[in-house]
Structure formats: structure tokens, C-alpha cells
Structure 1
Amino acid sequence: MLIAGLGPLMAEPGPRGPAFAQGDNWLLGTDAEGRDVFTQVLLGGRSLVLVATSAVVVTYLIAVPWGVAAATARRRAFDELLMRPLDLLLALPSMMLLLLVAALTGAHPVVLTVTVAVLLFPDATRLVRASALRAAHTPAMEALHLQDETWWRRNVGYLGRSLLPVVAADAGLRFVGAIYLVASASFLGVSADSAGTDWAVMIDRNRSGIVLVPWGVIVPAAMIIALAVGTNLLFDAGSRAVTQEFEPRSTK
């Protein structure tokens, strides 16, 4: 995350050289276009992190109110109306849909963000609904109804707080899924990075020279793995902290 965020500020483009060359001027050698691999690694995480993070944020901005509305629906028909269309989205091949949308509209960061969010949205909504469904039928919720508390107090104040540990735990998994989709699309030629410095694009472009300069493939691949695993561990730690914060209050 630090390299993705601060890397562009530290990158200093060096002299171009021959493709897949090594020498003192290039710490990790050169890529297929003769550019310094180390510089490209510093620049390559920005678009990946921005698109994946934005997609996860958009996913939960839609999934949380959608799932809560389905869980608190008084009529089953309304619950079915909200949840059954999500089954259609789950049946769509994720990568095929992403490539199709990008081919029709262009690989703009906003397009990729919205498309990835749509693909992540059904699973996240089903999880939120299942968690909210349990919380919506607790004695505390019944007490709020008997006290004639407002909709905001019941569904945001109580249900929203009860969903925080679940969302915190699930966000890491959604982020890894977003990275997988964005990186796979970039590897297949659909990238939000017009300069071609995306880590996944680097792997694709430099794989033909992996014997000559392996760092052009190994380092960006290691960066993607570290980003996915490290971020997931970070979210797991945050989930435990949130759970410890809210468990004592829920048991009082």
C-alpha cells in the first residue's frame, strides 16, 4: 500500500536502454520497452489500488442499505424483489462481463470501478442481508419497535452498528476479489493505466524476457501478492478490533 501510494512521488525516470538489459544504470534491469523496471514498479500500483479501493467502497455503499432493506422487509414479496435479481448477476461470468463492458465503453477508471463494484455487489449484499436478518429479530430490536423508535434509530443506529464487525471482516475479502478482477483484466489488456505501468501489465509485457530479466515479472507479481495478502491480514486485524469494541456493549 505504501509503495502504491508513495511510489509515484519517489519515482525518477532513468535513461532508456535496450529491451531486457541489465547494468548499473538499471537496478532491476529494463523492461520490454527499455524502461527501468524499478521505476515502473514504483508507478505500477497506483491505478490498481485506486480502482480496487473505489470499487469496494461503492460496493458497500450500495450493498449495506440494500441488504438492510431486504432483511427488514415486512413482506416477503419485497424481499424477493430485492434479492432475486442478484442471482442473475451471480450467474454471469465475472471476467467475461468485465472485458465486454471495457471493450464497449473503454477502459476508463470509472468504468472499471463501477463494473467491478457490480460484480462484487451480489455476494456482499447477501452477506449483509443474512447478518442483518439475525440482528433484526433480536429482543433489542423488538424493544426498539415497542418504544416506537424512528427508522433511523432502528436500522442505522442498531442494525448498522451490529453489521460493522461483519463488514470489516468481509471488506478484506472483497478487496482481494477486486484486485484479482482488475489485475486479471490488466493482464488481458484492459487497464486503467494508459501509461502501461500497471503491475499486471508489466507481467504480461515482460514475460517474454523472463529468462533475461526475471525481475520484470517476479517483482510486480510479488507486489500484487503482497498487496492482496497484506491488506487481507490488515482487515482481519481490524475486524477483531471492531468485534472486541462492540461485543461488550451487545452483551450488556
Structure 2
Amino acid sequence: MVALGGLVVGGLAVAVAGAGSPDDGLDPSCDRRTSPEPVVAVIDSGVVPLPVVVPRLAAPRIDLTGEEAGRPDPHGTAMAGIVADRAPEARLLDVRVLDEDGRAPADRLAAGVARAVDEGAEVVNVSAEVPAGHPPLVAALRRADREGAVVVLAAGNEGRDLDDDPSWAPVAALPCVVVVGAGDGDGELLGASNRGERTLDVVAPGASVATTGPDGAPTTAVGTSAAAAVVSGRLAAG
């Protein structure tokens, strides 16, 4: 885990990403893709095509759920809004993997990451439950790492220590993978956020993050999902 000036948050030495902070938790050895107009893939429940969103879309929605097209769950729109607020030059790649119940089998999540890499995304935001030890997902993350696509993973909101879960070790070791915990406005790790001194790369705001609702009205998002989107936006903004 990256240390920021010796700061200790909730008993952990961590980097803190937020307003005024340049630290995004990315390993300096990551040979990342770059572009003047970076593409951020939002691997989620789908993004509502609001008038303010449509001009930012890099391509039509990629839907891997097999469900009939309908109005997406608000979660994906909220994550896209957080990214867009922090990276005004970025384009968004809408990759739907979460079904109408908000779930994605590990194989589908892996396919979403792989598709985002195929489409040239510089940053891949995964604000979803991550089955870290699933072989196809690990393979997709390793491929993203080799090709310089930065994958930002929400650590999860079960309040557990990911260092105790050996399935996270090979994922956290990849230079182009950033595992994000959620903190409050003072940088304190939220009680619900998963933790892990060896596993987390950064703690980002996740208490009440301003974003856009599915009707276009302002709203807020919480947890490691929101924190991951904050980091994805910062990475895309450079």
C-alpha cells in the first residue's frame, strides 16, 4: 500500500485521493495507456442516456447481460457522473454487466473487463462486487495489466480485512490494478469499507459523493463504489 506522508488512517498507512490530492494509488511501474481524450469504461448496471451524458459516450452501450434493453439501474449512471465530474475531457464506455437484480456472475464481470480492454479503454472502473480469486477474472485483469489498461476495483463494503483473503493477493500485486477503500471527508476509513494494509492501494472519498441521478437531478453516492469512481476520474484526468 502506498503511504502518503506517513499518514495513518484507521490504523492503516494509506494514500488518500481527494480534492487537492495528486495521489491515486497507482503503482509507478504501471506502463499505462494514455490519450488526449481518455476512455473510461464503466463496468456496471448501464448508464441512462441523459442529454448531458450522450455527447460523452465513446460508443453505444455494450450489454453483456442478455436481458432486454430497459431503463438501467441508477447505480451505473451515478458512477459515470462521478467519473465525468472529475475528468471533463474523458469519454465514457458504457459496459453493462449487472443484471436487473444488481448481480454479475464472475464470468460476465471478466468478460466486461476484457471487452473494455478490447475497446481501448485507458481506465476501467469496476464498482461492483469483485470475486477476486475467480480464474477468468484474474486472467482478464492480468491481460489489462499487460496492455496498460488501469483497472480500478472497489474493495467492497463488508467491513472485512482483505489481507485475510488470499484470493486478493495476486490481484492486488498487479501494477495497473488499483484497489480502493472508502473514507470520509477527513480521510478516516469508513467502518463498512473493506480494508487491508497489503491489499488496498488508496482510500478515496466515499461518504457522500456528489453525482447525477437517472433523472438528471443531483444526488449522492456512498461506499467503495463511489470511492472507486472518484479514483477512476482522477486517473483519467491525469
Fold shared by both chains (TM-score > 0.5): no
TM-score in terms of structure 2 length: 0.27
Give the number of the structure whose residues are more often helix, by fraction. Answer: 1
Q: Identify the structure with the greater strand proportion.
A: 2
